Structures are given as C-alpha cells and as structure tokens.
A and B are shown apart, each in its own frame.
Chain A
Amino acid sequence: MMTKHFKYLALLFIAIGMQSCTDVVDLDVDAAPPELVVDGVISNDRELYVKLSQTSGFFDNNAFEKISGARVSIFENGQEMSVLDESPNEAGTYLSNFKGSIGNEYRIRVEISTNAPDQIIGTWWSTADTMKRVPNIDSMGQMSLDRNTNPQAFFPGEYAVMYFGDFEGKGDYYRLIRSLNDSVFAQENFFITDENLDGFYFGNGLFPPVSIYGPFEDPEAGEEPDSLGVRLESVTEAFFDYMQVLNTQVQTGSPFDAPPALVLGNIHKENEEGTYAFGYFRVVAGSNAGLRYEP
C-alpha cells in the first residue's frame, strides 16, 4: 500500500518534472502454447459457476478461447454433489444451482477430453477449501465526510458507509464487492483482514463504519449514482494472498513495481501436483446490503 503511494508520487515527479514520455510498443516475444484457465466460485447464496478458457499471447487482443464440452462437478466434503451444465448462451461457462453451506469443504473436478490442446486435456482439481463464516452487514448509511471526520475522506462529499462486526478469533478475511446502479465495479479489490483488528465492530466508538464509496457527487464510473449495492464475502487466506500477488502483477515494469512473478492459484492436474492451471476456484459465503443515494 505504502509502496503504491510512493510509486504514484515518484511517477508523478518523473512525468511532470522530467518531461518523460510514453509510447505503446510492440515486442517480439514468442507466445507460449495455450494453457488451462479456471475461474469459478461457489457460495452459500448464489448460482455456482465455473468458466473454462485458455491462455493467449500477450499481444493477441482477440477474445480468450473458451473450452466447451468439459465435465465439471462440485464435491462437498469429498463427495460429488452436482455436475455443472454448460450454459447454452455462453460457451465455456458451466452452471449449477447447488449452494454450499458454511463449514463444509468444497472442490471442483474438471475433466477435459476434447476441444482443447493436448496439454489441457486431462482431469484437473481445485484445492479443497472450507466455506468460512461471514458476518451480516448490520446497516448501511450515507455520511458527509471530509479530512476531519472519522472515517476520513481526502475529497469531501457524501459517502456510503457500512456497519458490521468481525467475528472473534483471528484469520477472517473479507472481500467487498460493490455495484453502482446494479453494475459491479471493475476490478474490485477491497479486502478487510482482522490481522490487527480481531473482533472489532466497525461503526462503534473508536472504530468508524467502513467508508465504501464516495463522493457520490463525483461518481467513479461516470454514471449518475442512484443505488449502491454491497456484498461482503468471507474468503480464504489463500485467496486473499492470491489477490495480493495478482494485484502486484496486473501492471508491472515500472522500476517501482514488484518484480514479475507467476500468479498461481489453486488448480492442479490430477496426480501431478507440479502441473497447475491458471485461475482460482473460490469458496465464499456472502451477505448483502444496499443503499439508495439521497442527494
């Protein structure tokens, strides 16, 4: 976080002080053969989905190749519970109405026998993860915030805040997914950990409610704000770590960026621990709330 601030400042300095310039360039880099990508989620309250696609060359800006005709199934505590159906509207997207329950362990199996390059054909598993407890969002509110309020806002205006309490006991990781006028924000990366704040209630005494969006007067998406939806998800520590690494890697190359690294998730080939696919199968539990903006 701090290094991000620093990077911003440093690059600002370079840009304005040193008359720097940027050019979009083409690199002569060989693309590696395609590999499997799994992007899926099971929750306690929403439709289960798994998207199968292939990696592509970095400079190839065509849509990612999808993988159709695979057999995808969900396992609860080691037992196969449901086979997902491939969506008729979206090739490579597999769906099921099966819902998970908190405390149980889930993993998926992906069997690919056709329609894919050799290295993708085979059986793949996600690591088994336990669905973790999630607190309720007690309430949402609209607050006028500025630099001298608590919570603090650098830009004064009307903000949406959220009241909720962390469970006692360390190791809870939460992700906030927000939507404005029913459109989910791009690249949501809003995580709360209880590493230093175990058991705290946000919105009580010293700890203010969590400011989650604002100012409404200056909408991020360029759209007039009407309603704000928020979903609080409990995630595993491993997924939290995965997103931390992912966020250091979505833009790299500046001297103030982290060195490039592989972003590896929790999908492996059957009986081959060392052979991984990209992507992540997430096991989450969610609670939801919303707020209508009043100017």
Chain B
Amino acid sequence: MRRALLFCLFLLSNALSGQNDQYTISGYIRDASNGEELIGVNVVITELRTGSTTNNYGYYSISLPPGKYTISIQYIGYETIEREITLSQDLKLNWELKENSTQLDEVVVSSEKIDQNVSSVEMSVAQLDVKDVKKMPALLGEVDIIRTLTLLPGISTVGEASNGFNVRGGNSDQNLILLDEAPIYNSSHLFGFFSIFNADAVKDVKLYKGGIPSRYGGRLSSVVDVRQKDGNNREFSGTGGLGLLSSRLLLEGPLVKEKSAFMIAGRRSYADIFLGLSPDETISQNTLFFYDFNAKLNYILGENDRLYLSGYYGRDIFEINDLFGFNWGNATTSLRWNHLFSDKLFSNFTAIFSDYTYELGTPDDDAFNFRLQSTIQDYHFKNQYTWYANSKSEFNFGFEGIYYRFKPGTISGTVELQLQEEYALEPSLYFSHEYKVSPLLTIQYGIRYSSFYNLGKQTKNIYQNQDLPEINEVVESKEFASGEIIKAYNGLEGLEPRIAVNYRLDDEKSIKLSYNRTRQYIHLISNTTAPTPVDLYRPAGMHIKPATVNQIAGGYFQNFSDNKYELSLETYYKDFQNIVDYRNGAELIFNETIETEILAGIGRSYGLEVYLRKQQGKLTGWLSYTLSKTELKVDGVNPNLAINAGEWYPANYDKRHDISLVLNYQLTKKWDIGMNFTYQTGRPITPPEGKFQIEDYVVPIYRDRNSYRIPDYHRLDLSANYTPPKVEGKKFYSSWSIGIYNVYARRNAYSIYFEQQPNANGATTTNLNTQAVQLSIFGTIIPSVTWNFNF
C-alpha cells in the first residue's frame, strides 16, 4: 500500500513539473447542423502525437509549450478538420463538424488516424452510435438501445422477456444506468421487451463493463451512461415515426438562438389497441401500453457557464378486465451547471431527483378497493471537476451525496396499512489521474471512497443471531429516531481503487490492463428467475450487507487497414462478495422483516471477449464473441436449506458461448440493408431429478441448481432502410424501415416449465402425471415496418 502511494506521488510530481511555460487550447466541439455538442471527439496534435477528447459536455482542453502545431479534429461519421495554429497565448477554439458525406466512397478523409481503440487507456468499454443503432433490425421496428448493447461482448440477457441485462456475470441490479446522470431503476418497458430509451432523444451511449472510472460508483458490474440530446439551438426541427408497436415525436429548437434550446420527445405504444380487436372478451378488455416523455432545456449563460435541465417520465400500464391494474415506471429530473473556473478547470454541479414506483390494485370505485404502492426515491448532489493540467496529465475529482428514501409498501383504500419507510445516505469522494508517462505508456489511477448510512426513523428487530436472522428469534425491538444512524458502513472497506494501464506496442497495437473494486449498497429484492417490475431495491443496513466486486481485466487491442478495422481481445476475472439471495419460499412483497428471508452469497465470473468492428466504408458492423462462466455459492441456514447444498452452481444468466454478427451494407445512396445474427448457449435451468406425491400434489425434487441447459438460442434478423435524398429547399423528408425478426422462425426456448398435467374439464380426480413444457416467446417470424420523418 505504502509503495503504491509513493509511486502515485512520484507520478503526480512528475506530471505537475514544468507546467507553467505552457499555453492552453480549449473550447467546445459541436455538430454544424444543429449546434449539438459532441462527446468523445478526438483532438489530436499531429506533431506531438498527443491529444485529448471532448468530455460529456463537448468540452476539450490541451496545454502545450509555445510553438506551431497542426491540430486535427476527428470524429467517426464527421469530416475531419485540420488546421495550423501558432500557440503563443491561451486559445479558445470552438469547432463545428460536418457530417461525413463522402463515407460511401470509402475515402479515408483524414491523414490522421482515429485510433481511440488502441490509444485510449479506457478498456472494457462499449460505445454505440445511435445513428447505427437506428439502421439495425429491431423487434417490431422499435429501435432499442439496451437490446443492441446485448449484441456486444460481455453483455447479455436472460431472454427476451426479462427486465434488464447482465454484464460480465453481474446480476441486472448491478448496472448503474444513468440518463443525463440520473439513475434509472428499471430500464425496461413491457417486461423487458423494450427499453425505456427513446432513441430519437438519445445523443450518446457508453457502457463500462470494466476499468470503471472512479467518478462512477454505487453498482458492481457496469455503468451505462446515456446522454440525451441538448436540442437544436439553430432552428426549430422535429423527428418522429410511426411503427407497429409505437409512435413517437421529438421537437427541438432554439429558445434564444445560439444560446438556449429545448428538446421534448414523447412515445406511446398501442399494443392495447390490437388487444381490443380480439373477439375474445377476456383478451379485448385488457389494457396494456407504455409511454414515455423526455425533455431537456439548455442555456448558455456565458463563455464559462451552461445550464442543463433534463427530465424523463415513463409508465407501463396494464389493466385486466377493469378488475385489477398494475402500473410502474421511472421519473427523473436533473439540473446541471457547467462552470469553467479557467480554461483548464472544468466543473459540473448536478442536482438529481429520481423515482421508481409501482402500483397495483383495484379500481377506486370498487366497494372494497385497495392500492399497493412501492417506491424508491433518491436525491443526488454531485460536484465534479476535471483539471487538464498539461498535455500529459488530466485529473478528475469530486464528491457525491445520495439521499435515499425507500417506501417498500403502502396500502390504501378500504384498508390502510403502511410498511416502515427506510432512509439512507451514501456520500462518496473520488480522485483520478490520467498520466501519459511516455508516448507509449499511459496510466490512469484513482480511488473512490464511498460510505453508507442507514438512517431512522425506524423500529428494527434485534435477533439472537444478527447475521442469520430468524423470525422467531427476535430478542428486542429497537426504536431509532429520525436521522439517527441505524448502521454505518464507513470503514476502510469503502475504498475502491481503480487502475488502468495502456502500453502501446506500436501505432496499431496496444495492451491494456485494469483493476477495479466496486461497491453496492442497495440490492434488488427479487425471488423470481428474472426480476419483475414489482421487485424493489432495499438498502444495506443492520442485517443486509453491502456487496463488493473486485475485477481484473487485460486486453490486446489492434487496428488494421488504416483504422478501418478494430480488434480487441479481453479477458477478465471477477470476484463477488455479499450477493443477496433468498430463502426458499421467501415472501418478499409487503414484508416488514425482509432480513429473515435473505441469504448472502459469493460469486465468481471469468471470460474472454473478442470484438472485431468495421466503422467505415459501405460495409460496417461487428462480430463479437464471449466465452464466459459465472457461478454463485450461497450457504443456507442449514446445509439442507442452502442453495444447491452450499456448492457452487451456474448463475441463471450464465451462457458459455455468445456470438453476434451485426452488419449493415449501403447498397445505394437510398438503400441500406442490415442483418443481425446471434447464437448463445442455452441458459441453465434446474431439472427435477424426481417427484413425490403428497395429498394430490405431485412435487418435483430439485437438488442440483441450474444443472441442465435449455436448447441453444439462435436467431437471424434482417432489415432494409429506404432513405430518399433530401430535396433542396424542402425541410420535410422521410424514410422507411422494413424489418424481419426471427427470419427462419426458430422456436427458441425461453424457459422450460415442470408441471402436473392439467385436468380434463369436469374431472373430479387430479391428474397426477407430470410433464415438461418448453415456452418459446416468438413462435414465428415477426415482420415490421416503420415510417420515420424529419422536418
């Protein structure tokens, strides 16, 4: 530890020496067509073979000794700009990039190379260009960012109908999903079929599965950073579409030209309209739809200050025969203020409110009516700084505070009941330093310190064995006053070191290594195979401990043919501590003593990921392959009740092989075609090794958890997009997308049920025969057509 500290101090002193005789080039980089700030643009100083990239707000800053330089601004899909500059004082240079129209002709515009894959210290990162995602085949034509992410190595789902996704062996509650920095607690609509992100409103998506920068914390396995569009500050415009599943419309425009803009977007599905057409009354009287709204306002207050206000509101609504209804969804608001203290010191102050609520119940006008509501809310404050010290060093530091309010259950209506609310505070601090030691070696090291306080007001049970609480072993009931600390996790175990190293073998090859420790203080309480929208997060506290992951990853990165092709090979190992699992038969909804239903386990996951991507030319796309293994181990109250008798077993989402091929080919200027092919090892299920009869129940005997696999999954999807050229002088233009999902109509197994055979109608004795039934979500080809428009 001491040696590591000394080494860091040495790097720091090296990094800071001789920085006084330098000047700074800084500014914002925007899209020329709409003034939208661009994220991750490369700013390269050709002579020094060094550079920087724009941050999440489109800002860059480089400090160099005085002299003449060639500065090159490069961004995939945009024309590269090169300019000679003479640096004899600090320069503010804002750039506007034009979309690349010459891409079709396979001309490499730049003499420079867009080689972030090789040069950046970041590894285990998946980035999506929303424009590419929109061209890909999609289920029912619904452009889906999360589903597309699962085509990248290391990211998978349990199946079509499951909420969330799994990253490198992590459960779906281990993903920090941020929409304009506000955490999203449930990223799916309609039980996981579609994601909550309206692609029209999204500017940038980045997923970290390893080497997670120290500015992110609070979840174990990944960070998905989704940024909404700021809004066109040049002119009023709109985008929209009509599809089979939903329709959407986005409007954006300046409030004050070049200074302030707005963006609003809405989307609504209409599957329920089709249900209404069914002649079967039990089907036609059901309601089922989702909608969401995105909104953003931004205001450039001056040279050094910007304000952003963003919001999201979405709901899924599900009613059955007007008897019983469910609805659930996220709501978020974030207010951000960017301030430049100097050209080198960028800061961001953020205030966030996020809410996830589900409700279920009967209509209010029923004589006996009830409504159960469950909510998690959080209030965040973040203050983040980036200091672009010199051309070799960049520092990130800041702090964050999250105040949580958990309302596990409130019943209203004829009977009124309420479970105790829980409160918690999660403060954290972070620091990181990215240092280019030499043109060949870059090191990023940092640390995050997080702590967690479970707070009153609450009455807590104290059990005989606090580590393994039993409902009939309550020793006393202890009252905690409002704001009183019930349990604090504020020791050294809250230190989360993050280290990444990039060593360039030559211009086209590099190797990278990373280590990170992450910690998670809130757990999704779910006792189903795939989480459902009615599962809720609960905080670490007196009985539930925080979970921790240590991850090491190493990779080889190479670009070919003038960076047209990118290749990465990565391998990782993760070790999980204090993963929450549930006792057999646990009742989790509306349960005051949830700690008596929970067990803690450990996990391990390791794998190899291969990713080959082509980003330029007529043919673009990628091939990804993941070989991985994820296992869990949970000891129970006694060995007979432990999961899998306390032995290691594969996680529900463990898939040995996962291959995806994604291609898009620009046939003509008007037509492009796309395909996705995916192949995955079947996920594990637990087969019954026998059965027994008690009364007239036939009960399966399950011992070896997840010891059998459902058949392998594979599927081919195709799409064709027709985009007529814009007519000069006409603002309105439209395009068509046609898609076929599951082209060869494979009945991919989603799950296998084990059940007693159903009784024949009118039978007076129970059928004791048992059977296995395979459920396939899509039994056939799913075609789609979508009309998109812009004005």
Contacts and interface: CB of A to CB of B under 8 A. Distances in A.
Contacts of B694: 37, 39, 246, 265, 278-280
Contacts of B761: 222
Nearest to B766: A186
Interface residues of A, number: 82
A255 B750 contact: yes
A103 interface: no
A9 B700 contact: no
A265 B584 CA distance: 13
Contact of A186 (B162, B759, B782): B759
B685 to A, nearest CB: 6
A1 B702 CA distance: 23
A149 B700 CA distance: 40
Interface string A250-294: 111111111111111100000000101011100000000000000
Contacts of A263: 584, 699, 701
Given A183-B764, A186-B766, A253 B699 contact: no
A25 B696 CA distance: 24
A255 B162 contact: yes
A17 B367 CA distance: 32
Interface string B679-703: 0000001111111111111111111
B685 A253 contact: yes
Contacts of A55: 690-692, 701
A149 B367 CA distance: 6
A27 B753 CA distance: 11
Contacts of B275: 16-17
Interface string A155-193: 000000000000000000000000000010011100000
Contacts of B772: 24-27, 58-59, 253
Given A20-B777, A22-B776, A29-B689, A264 B640 contact: yes
A261 B645 CA distance: 10
A217 interface: no
Contact of B762 (A3, A20, A222, A246): A222
B289 to A, nearest CB: 11
Contacts of B161: 10, 14, 18, 255
Nearest to B319: A9
A177 to B, nearest CB: 10
A39 B759 CA distance: 22
Contacts of B702: 249, 252, 260-262
B458 interface: no
Nearest to A53: B693
A244 B587 contact: yes
B639 interface: yes
A157 to B, nearest CB: 15
A12 interface: yes
B708 A27 contact: yes
Contacts of B271: 17
A250 B699 contact: yes
Nearest to A237: B472
A5 B321 CA distance: 13
Contacts of A77: none
Given A16-B275, A31-B690, A57-B690, A262 B193 contact: no
Contacts of B652: 259
A56 interface: yes
A35 interface: yes
Interface of B: 158-162, 190-191, 193, 271, 274-275, 278, 283, 286, 288, 318, 320, 323-324, 326, 360, 366-368, 372, 414, 417, 527-530, 532-534, 582, 584-590, 639-641, 643, 652, 685-703, 705, 708, 747, 750-756, 759, 761-766, 768-780, 782
Given A25-B774, A265-B694, 20 more contacts: A2-B590, A5-B326, A7-B532, A12-B286, A13-B190, A14-B775, A16-B275, A17-B275, A18-B777, A21-B776, A22-B773, A23-B773, A25-B772, A58-B688, A61-B769, A244-B585, A249-B702, A250-B755, A260-B702, A263-B584
6 contacts: A24-B772, A186-B766, A188-B695, A250-B698, A252-B686, A265-B694
Nearest 3 CB-CB pairings of A with B: A245-B585, A222-B762, A21-B779
